[in-house]
Amino acid sequence: MDWRFLAGGVAMIITGSVISIVYGSILLSAPLDELNPSRGIAQIGGIMGAIGVLLTLVSFGLRRRKRRPDEDTTSATSTKQNGGSS
């Protein structure tokens, strides 16, 4: 699990939900001239929340890669331990 993707996904879910709720409530109480911009922003909030859900799901499938020790450094240390170059 990659924590950065998980944190980003959760943040996007929260942000998208808040945007959708705020602008969705404006849709119910606003005059007609504010209806279309508020609807578009509410849809963008919903899309952002959906992308956050996808990021959260992807984070469970990701694994952090283990760094392999560089082979050049291991061979250099082994020659030093064996008495240097011959």
Q: What is the DSSP string of 23-64?
A: HHHHHHHS-GGGHHHHHHHHHHHHHHHHHHHHHHHHHHH--P
The percent of residues in the chain predicted with pLDDT above 70, rounded, is: 73
Q: Which of 4-8, 10-14, 47-51, 74-78 has the lowest mean pLDDT?
A: 74-78
The rounded distance, in Å, linking the Cα atoms of 18 and 11 is 11
The pLDDT value given to residue 81: 59
Domain boundaries, the chain: 3-63
Split at pLDDT 50, 70, 90, the class of 65 is low
Averaged pLDDT for residues 58-64: 79
